[in-house]
Amino acid sequence: MDIWSREKRSEVMSRIRNKGTKPEVTLRKALFARGFRYRVNVKTLPGKPDIVLPRYKTVIFVHGCFWHGHPGCKYAYTPKSNTEFWVNKISGNRERDAVVKRELEESGWKVIIVWECEIRHGKDFSGLIERLSQDIRLRDSNLTSLI
């Protein structure tokens, strides 16, 4: 049993964005400030990654903890109403994420997953950006050593 009418629930759900979210924008701005240039939601790649760094052959997905079922995260909970729907929805999202990740890796892309809670609620955002920068640039140095 839902606490809102069908119309109200539809209105609420229609306002949930799937691109250009605050965590994505925050991460993009931090990467740009570090000198990274990227593309956003490239439709030709599986899963339309949130951030694509073509120079580094790296993609970054910013996963919402609730929508993608972040293990062990307090923001990844199962709603008390319509539980079966939400369990199926979130597990379906996780299965799709695994397929997309595998397809990208088989195509030679490095896939990085950043969780919403690391950006919004993380105590060390600058540390996260530093680790991401090193991880991305490591890929670049590995590519140049192969050439």
Let me know if residue 114 belongs to a domain: yes
Q: 6-28 b/e with 16+ CB inside 10 Å = b?
A: eeeeeeeeeeeeeeebebbebbb
Q: In the prediction, which pLDDT does 1 show? A: 62
Contact present, 67 and 93 (Cβ < 8 Å) = yes
Let me know if residue 3 belongs to a domain: no
Q: 3-class SS at 2?
A: coil
Q: Output the pTM of the full model.
A: 0.84
Q: CA-CA distance, 122 to 36, in Å (whole number)?
A: 22
Q: In the prediction, which pLDDT does 138 show? A: 83
Let me know if residue 102 belongs to a domain: yes
pLDDT tens figures, 6-40: 788 777 777 776 677 899 999 999 999 999 999 99
Into how many domains does the chain fold?
A: 1
- Residue 61, phi-psi category: left (phi > 0), alpha (psi -120 to 50), beta (remainder): beta
Let me know if residue 73 belongs to a domain: yes
- CATH of residue 92's domain is 3.40.960.10
pLDDT tens figures, 32-83: 999 999 999 999 999 999 999 999 999 999 999 999 999 999 999 998 888 9
Residue-range definition of the domain harbouring residue 55: 19-146
